Amino acid sequence: MLKQRYTEEIESTMKMFFETRSEKDRRRYAAIEALKLGNGGQQYICEVFGCDPSTVRRGIDEFHEIVF
CA–CA gap between residue 35 and residue 60 (Å, rounded): 8
Sign of CA dihedral 2, 7, 12, 14: negative
Which pLDDT value is given to residue 2?
81
Percent over 70 (pLDDT), the chain: 99
Whether pLDDT at 64 is above 90: no
| 7, 26 contact by CB (below 8 A) | no
User: Tens of pLDDT along 7-40?
Assistant: 999 999 999 999 999 999 999 999 999 999 999 9
| 45, 52 contact by CB (below 8 A) | no
Q: What residue ranges do the domains of the chain occupy? A: 9-67
With bands split at pLDDT 50, 70 and 90, how would you rate the model's confidence at 50? Answer: very high
Taking CA atoms, 38 is separated from 19, 22, 41, 43, 45, in Å, by 23, 24, 5, 10, 11
Whether pLDDT at 3 is above 80: no
